């Protein structure tokens, strides 16, 4: 039992902490909108992560190895990333946007949550992570019983949820400490980073489709 808990904690932190698509969107929304927006993106991403985790624990993750499924998810993810990058930059550069925090539009928590969920569900790197994790889960005994699967699941997502709250708090504090122009340009840079990730993903998808 302790081995499963330790495995869930280590894998949860290793999965949540590295920078990536969800982290970039969390930072972008958090700098622009504050703690609620950053937390909404993170919590939305947990839905996608939980989906693939349950598939892996149930032994159904092999379905995602279908090339057509991978290509479709990759293409959707590319369009989503480019859309987020373009709309994010346009929103920050809009002439109507004033330079006081009181005039910043209220957080659209539902939109941020949905964005985090779709980014996670269509992220090819997350899919690859869970596909490669199947052997480790089987070797650790996480698939031997329902109780073992539940124990791993709770420990893994407990760490992910704690990280989500912690990173959202840090971004919220940083936003309050930054002057509005600095926060605005950081948000633009985050949007540009998302666009670059989208272009890189598009190149990878094209290579897998035509090679």
Mean pLDDT of the chain: 75
CA 110 to chain centre: 15
Q: Which domain range does residue 104 map to? A: 2-210
CB 159 within 8 A of CB 12: yes
Number of domains in the chain: 1
Question: Strand locations in the chain, DSSP E?
Answer: none
Q: How far apart are CA 71 and CA 124, in angstroms?
A: 9
Tokens read off for 148: 């073992």
Q: How far apart are CA 129 and CA 182, in angstroms?
A: 35
Q: In a 3-state reduction of DSSP, which class is residue 99?
A: coil
| pTM for this prediction | 0.69
The pLDDT of 15-38, averaged and rounded, is 83
pLDDT at 105: 47
Return all residues near 211 (Cβ < 8 A) that are at least 6 apart. none
Range in 70-79, 103-112, 164-173, 182-191 the model is least confident about: 103-112
pLDDT at 41: 92
Q: Which pLDDT band, with edges at 50, 70 and 90, does 104 fall under? A: very low
């Amino acid at each position: 039992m302790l081995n499963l808990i330790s495995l869930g904690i280590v894998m949860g932190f290793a999965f949540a902490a590295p920078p990536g698509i969800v982290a970039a969107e969390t930072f972008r929304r958090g700098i622009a909108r504050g703690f609620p927006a950053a937390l909404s993106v993170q919590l939305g991403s947990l839905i996608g992560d939980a989906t693939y985790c349950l598939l892996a624990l149930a032994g159904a993750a092999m379905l995602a190895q279908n090339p057509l499924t991978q290509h479709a998810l990759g293409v959707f993810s590319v369009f989503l990333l480019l859309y987020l990058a373009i709309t994010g930059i346009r929103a920050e550069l809009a002439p109507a946007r004033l330079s006081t925090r009181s005039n910043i539009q209220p957080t659209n928590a539902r939109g941020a949550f949905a964005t985090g969920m779709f980014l996670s569900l269509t992220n090819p790197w997350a899919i690859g992570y869970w596909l490669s994790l199947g052997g480790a889960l089987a070797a650790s005994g996480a698939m031997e019983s329902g109780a073992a699967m539940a124990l791993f699941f709770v420990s893994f997502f407990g760490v992910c949820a704690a990280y989500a709250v912690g990173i959202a708090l840090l971004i919220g504090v940083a936003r309050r400490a930054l002057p509005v122009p600095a926060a605005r340009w950081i948000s633009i840079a985050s949007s540009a980073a998302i666009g670059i990730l989208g272009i890189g993903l598009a190149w990878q998808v094209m290579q897998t489709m035509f090679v």
